[in-house]
Every structure is written in C-alpha cells, then in structure tokens.
Amino acid sequence: MGENISTRVAYGRALAEFGDRSDIYVFDSDLKSCTMSMYFAEKYPERFFNIGIAEANMVNIGAGFATCGATSLVHTFAIFAAGRVYDQVRNDVCYPGLNVKVVGSHAGLTVGEDGATHQALEDMSLMRTIPGMTVICPCDDNETRLAVKAMLDYKGPVYFRTGRPAVESVTGDIPGYSFEIGKGCQLRDGSDVTLIACGLMVQRTLKAADLLAAEGISARVIDMATIKPIDREIIVKAAKETGAIVTAEEHNIIGGLGSAVSEVLTDECLVPLQRVGVNDCFGHSGHPNDLLEHFGLTPENIAANAKKAIARK
Amino acid sequence: MLTDEKRKLELMAATIRKTALETIHTAGSGHIGGSFSMADIMAVLYFKAMNVDPKNPDKPDRDRLVVSKGHCSPVTYATLALKGFFPLEHLKTFRQIDSDLSGHVEIHVPGVDMSGGSLGQGLSVALGMAMYAKANHINNYVHAIMGDGEIEEGQIWEAAMCAGFYKVNNLIAFVDNNKIQLDGRLSEVMDPNPIDEKFRAFNWNVINVNGQDVEEIANAIDEAKKCLDKPTMIVAHTTKGAGVSIFEDTARFHGGQPTPEEYEQAIKELDDRIASLEV
C-alpha cells in the first residue's frame, strides 16, 4: 500500500528506481537534497551533474545533452523552473522539441514559511502556454511513481511539478486507478457535479465529495494529473453527465487547471464552472496547512463551490 | 599553413560572404555586419577544422557548432550550403513563410546543431554537448560562436564558470569581437572588456587572434586541441562588416540593408576579392 510522503520524495525515489538507462542524465542546481534528485545522484553519480546556482545554464546544458540523444532531467524549485528560466525552456527546450524534463519542486503555497518569493502559483500557466510542452502535476506517491515512469518513456519536453509536504497516499487504493499522460482518472463516480483536481488538491477534493455526500449531493471526482495535454474527453463527458464542474488547484486560478478546463467547456459544452485556487494574488509565509486554509484551498470551500455550481445549472 | 591552403580558405571566406549577402538581398532582410565579421571563422571551421559529413549530418561523433549569435543565420546557412548540407538554390527561400531557413539559426536545418537567437544561451548548450561527449567517451570537439555584445548576458558567465570547473577541454568557443552592437559601439553601450582576462579568471585557455586571418584562426584551433585541462576561448578580434569597405565598422549594417547602389558595389568588391584569390 502507499506511503504518506511528499511528491518530491516519491519523485526522487522513482527517478532512482527507473534511472537505470544509459541515456538518462540528471542535473541539479544546488538543490538535490530538496528536489530529491539526490537519490539518483547517489545511485548513478556518473550520470549526475551539479551545475550550481545557475538555473539558466543548467537548462541549456540539459538541452545540449538532449541534442546528442540524452534524456535530460533538470531540477530546481518550481518558481525558478517556470519563471526564472522561462526563456531557456521556451527557446532552447520546447522550440527545438528537445527531450528535456523540467522538474519543479516546492510548487504552490505549501513551500510554507519560506514565503511568497518561493511559492510558485503561476508555473503551470507559464509552462502550459508553450507549444509542445506537457505539464504533469501528480497528487501522491503512487501517481508520482507512475508518472515518472511514463515521463521517462515519453520523448519530448515535460514540466513536472512536485510539492514539499507529505501528502496522503490515495490513488493506490482506488480500484481501476491508472496513470497515462494526457488522461484524467475518475476516482469516484457521481451525478450532480464533477470535481476536477490536481496535485495535493486531489485529496482535499475527495474529502469535499464526502462532505457533499453527507448532504445528499453526488459528486464525481476526477484526478487530472496531466494539465497539458488536457483530457478533453473526460471533461466533456463529466459536463454532459453532471452538468456542473468545480476545479481545484494549488495555483493561481488564472492559467492553470481551472483555465484549461474552462477552455474545453467553452469550446465544447458550456456548463457552470467554479474555480477553486489562489485568487490572483501572491502567497506569504506561514504553516502550509494554515496557508491552504487562509487561501480557501479546503474541502469545505470546494464543497461550497460545488453547491454554487449546481445552483447555477 | 601552406600558402595554397590559406588561399583556398580565404577564397571560401569571400565566397561565403558573397553567398550570405545574396541570400540577404533576396530575402530583403537579414544581418550583414555580424555575418561578415565571423565569415573567416566559419570558413576555417567547416573547410578545415570540423569533422562533419554533409552526407551524414547526424553522425553521432561529429564535431558540433552552436551559433549562439543566432541572428547571423545568413553566414551560417551560406556556409552549410557551400559545404553541401543542402542546395545553394535553397538559400533563395531564406526568411520566407514556407522555408525552414528562418531569420535565426534553426536546428531543423540540415547541418545545424542547435537553434539560436535568444542571446547568451548558446555557450551553455555547447557546454552540454561537450560534457555529453566526455561522459560518453566520444572524441569530438564542440564549438560555439558568440558576439561580443552577446557576452553582456549573464548566462555566458554561468557557462564560463561551469566549463572551467568541469575542465571541459573539448569545448572550443569564439567571441566575435567586432566591437559594435545594435545600438552602437560597445565602448558606448556596455563594454565587456577585457574579454580575455575575464575568461582566464574562469579557468579557460584563452587565445587572442586576428579574426579576419584564417591562418591565425586555424592555428588557434590547433593550439586549443593541445590543451587537455581547460576549455578554450578564442577571442577573435574582428571588424563588423569585414570584407566590404562600406559595411565595415558601422552599426548601420547590424540589421540594416544597403541601398541598391551599395549592394552592387559590395558584390563588385567581393567579386574582385574572389577573382584575386582564384588561380
């Protein structure tokens, strides 16, 4: 059964587990004990390079390796991976279509006490807008492990988002759960509303579904670990069958999962949508749980938004 | 270097310039000044130094070049066409909507090892290629060409620090020190000098050459290959627009175009140079 560990630890372990491939090269920017690339570094030191605090250089070294046939994985905090080196990722990874995986750890509010400068709340938005980029944000240990394996088998640019705090392991216990890049996974069926979440909001969304069930509201729950390419089919099906949707993400409500879902609904099947996330503001220091509470990233708020969405039908 | 070899490289450099200028003229836009200042380096790299095969452009153990000053696509594409990576006729499509020959250097073009254009980034890419070769015991050399204005970008110095630290001796880079950037002279805009001392401080093997002298360039590359514990930076002292009198030492032709009369004069000068070098 699963383990209640952070997605960054699950990531690091999975990278080491599946890293026995001579084309895999791993780069970090003085954060290997934070991003957890250290597990790979310990196991395969000959294929690990510490580039120091120089993220731009790291991304392009990874790009250089990839032009020679390598699968490059570059590691830093999400705030730097998506923001500081946006130009390098756009022009030197995605435009040439190189096989570089950009791994951003410590994403979202739950960096906690380090505060707003380190809380990436725009990273999925920035990465999602680059042509050819795949964006993955797993929710727990099991999903992270499967997503790492899938990412390593996929050839092309990927942005992989992990978090700092330990999170409850949920997907391993759900019958029929599977991970595939570009596919959402229905964790629970429901008929009144659909809750779509990614990252650590998946667990909170499952709790929201429990709260709604206690009030007699049947909520479908979809784990959308791939933000891009978004699973249009599962969204449209949910919209048609449940008639109302709520998204939940540890990210600005602009540009991330909520936006991706709203784009699909706008194109194909307009139903009421409520987006739960950080309301276009910066985070600040605090205990991770207090921050999630403060910004409304709670089961209670997801449930409240579900009721609003249903009322708008 | 034998006199005849030198003559042939000089002839190639002049031919590259003429081909690049015709390419720009057909397109109606493109960067002349920086293309011309690095034409002699390109002639030496592709017609003497680099192990590349136009019939097998992707061979894994080939030498590589990252044109970090990616706006100098005219000289790059002209050189690759003359080397045989694609037909010279294809240059007529430069910058057209249905062509792969975009305004900045493109990895999708046969013979091009990496896209360029966002300045300051190519040295890191070349460093990655060189580190890959060392990690995989491939005996090749990786080159990068940067502009002197380009090294105002901070990432260049991240790469410089890293290449020196990892002793990446199969990396042989150039600064095309033509002393003029888009807005004017480096000395007026932002001066990165002394360039050689800076790279030396980052543990590079540094060689100063006359970047318009094919023999000095070739000798510097030979010397670089003898250095086993450091990357090499060849600081090529050049003239912007070198090879055509009216293009030389001015910011006007960084991206600007000559008048029809100036174009005719430039072609005549290049034809005269080519004729003087042909036997």
Is the per-residue pLDDT at B155 higher than 80? yes
pLDDT at A301: 98
Task: Please give the share of chain B, as a percent, with pLDDT higher than 70.
Answer: 100
Decide if B131 and A96 are in contact by the 8 Å CB cutoff. Answer: no
- Which residue among A55, A143, A249, A250 is the active-site one? A55
* Segment B207-215 mean pLDDT: 98
Q: Are A157 and A97 in contact (CB under 8 A)?
A: yes
Q: How far is B117 from chain A (nearest CA, A)?
A: 8
- Residue of B218, B214, B128 lying closest to B170 (CA atoms): B128
Residue in chain B closest to A51 (alpha carbons) equals B162
3-class DSSP state of B145: strand
Decide if A60 and B107 are in contact by the 8 Å CB cutoff. Answer: no
pLDDT at B256: 94
- pLDDT tens digits along A289-298: 999 999 999 9
* Segment B47-64 mean pLDDT: 97
- Residue of A128, A122, A118, A120 lying closest to A158 (CA atoms): A128
Cis peptide bond prior to A299, omega within 30° of 0: no
Is the per-residue pLDDT at A205 higher than 70? yes
Q: Are A39 and A70 in contact (CB under 8 A)?
A: no
Residue bearing tokens 């690990």:
A48
Determine how many CB atoms are found less than 10 A away from the CB of residue A84: 16
Q: Return the DSSP state at B46.
A: I
* B-interface mutation test, from A21, A59, A67, A98, most B Cβ less than 10 A away: A67
- Residue of A136, A171, A140 lying closest to A150 (CA atoms): A136
Task: Cite the DSSP H helix spans in chain B.
Answer: 3-27, 33-37, 39-44, 73-83, 122-135, 155-165, 186-189, 195-201, 214-226, 260-277
* Segment B181-203 mean pLDDT: 97
Identity of the residue in A56, A69, A70 whose CB atom sits nearest the CB atom of B124: A56
Q: How far apart are CA A213 and CA B19, in angstroms?
A: 74
Is the per-residue pLDDT at B59 higher than 90? yes
Is the per-residue pLDDT at B173 higher than 70? yes
Q: Determine contact: A49 vs chain B, CB below 8 A.
A: yes
Furthest CA-CA distance within chain A: 58
Pairing type for strands A71-77 and A24-28 reads parallel
User: Which residues 70-129 in chain A show a CB within 8 A of chain B?
Assistant: 70, 72, 87-88, 91-92, 95-96
* B-interface mutation test, from A25, A61, A76, A94, most B Cβ less than 10 A away: A61
Q: Determine contact: A157 vs chain B, CB below 8 A.
A: no
Residues of chain B positioned with their CB less than 8 A from the CB of A64: 66, 114, 124-132
- pLDDT tens digits along A237-283: 999 999 999 999 999 999 999 999 999 999 999 999 999 999 999 99
Q: Determine contact: B128 vs chain A, CB below 8 A.
A: yes
Is the per-residue pLDDT at A1 higher than 80? no
Q: Are A224 and A189 in contact (CB under 8 A)?
A: no
Q: How far is A56 from chain B (nearest CA, A)?
A: 7
* A-interface mutation test, from B59, B62, B131, B167, most A Cβ less than 10 A away: B131
Buried b / exposed e along B73-92 (16+ C-beta atoms within 10 A): bbbbbbbbbbbbbbeeebbe
Q: Determine contact: A52 vs chain B, CB below 8 A.
A: yes
Q: Determine contact: A47 vs chain B, CB below 8 A.
A: yes
The residue type of B83 is K
Determine how many CB atoms are found less than 10 A away from the CB of residue A308: 14
Residues of chain A positioned with their CB less than 8 A from the CB of B158: 54, 56-57
Region of A108 (left: φ > 0; alpha: ψ -120 to 50; beta: rest) is: left
Please count the residue pairs, one from chain A and one from chain B, whose beta carbons lie less than 8 angstroms apart: 94
Which band of pLDDT confidence, cut at 50, 70 and 90, is reported for residue A140? Answer: very high
pLDDT at B1: 84
pLDDT at A76: 98
Q: Determine contact: B137 vs chain A, CB below 8 A.
A: no
Q: How far apart are CA B59 and CA B53, in angstroms?
A: 8
* Segment B185-195 mean pLDDT: 97
Task: Please give the share of chain A, as a percent, with pLDDT higher than 90.
Answer: 99
Q: Determine contact: B129 vs chain A, CB below 8 A.
A: yes
Pairing type for strands A245-252 and A273-278 reads parallel
Backbone angles phi, psi at B205, to 5 degrees: -80, 120
Is the per-residue pLDDT at A83 higher than 90? yes
Is the per-residue pLDDT at B98 higher than 80? yes
Q: Determine contact: B60 vs chain A, CB below 8 A.
A: yes
Q: Determine contact: B146 vs chain A, CB below 8 A.
A: no
Residues of chain B positioned with their CB less than 8 A from the CB of A68: 60, 129, 132-133, 136
- pLDDT tens digits along A146-165: 999 999 999 999 999 999 99
Q: How far apart are CA A143 and CA A308, in angstroms?
A: 30
3-class DSSP state of B113: coil
Buried b / exposed e along A271-297 (16+ C-beta atoms within 10 A): bbbbbbbbeeeebeebebeebbeebbb
User: Tokens standing for A158?
Assistant: 């990927």
Q: How far is B100 from chain A (nearest CA, A)?
A: 13
- Residue of B7, B146, B254, B125 lying closest to A64 (CA atoms): B125
Q: Return the DSSP state at B136.
A: T
Backbone angles phi, psi at A136, to 5 degrees: -125, 135
Q: How far apart are CA B177 and CA A93, in angstroms?
A: 28
Pairing type for strands B205-210 and B232-237 reads parallel
- Residue of A5, A11, A14 lying closest to A31 (CA atoms): A11
User: Which residues 254-273 in chain A show a CB within 8 A of chain B?
Assistant: none
Give the 3-state DSSP-derived string for chain A, with helices as H, strands as E and coil as C.
CCCCCCHHHHHHHHHHHCCCCCCEEEEECCCHHHHCCHHHHHHCHHHEEECCCCHHHHHHHHHHHHHCCCEEEEEEEHHHHHHHCHHHHHHHHHCCCCCEEEEEECECHHHHHHCHHHCECCHHHHHHCCCCCEEECCCCHHHHHHHHHHHHHCCCCEEEECCCCCCCCCHHHCCCCCCCCCCCEEEECCCCEEEEECCCHHHHHHHHHHHHHHCCCCEEEEECCEEECCCHHHHHHHHHHHCCEEEEEEEECCCCHHHHHHHHHHHHCCCCEEEEEECCCCCCCCCHHHHHHHCCCCHHHHHHHHHHHHHCC
pLDDT at B105: 94
Q: Return the DSSP state at B92.
A: G
Q: Determine contact: A132 vs chain B, CB below 8 A.
A: no
Decide if A60 and B166 are in contact by the 8 Å CB cutoff. Answer: no
Catalytic-residue membership of A55? yes
pLDDT at B279: 82
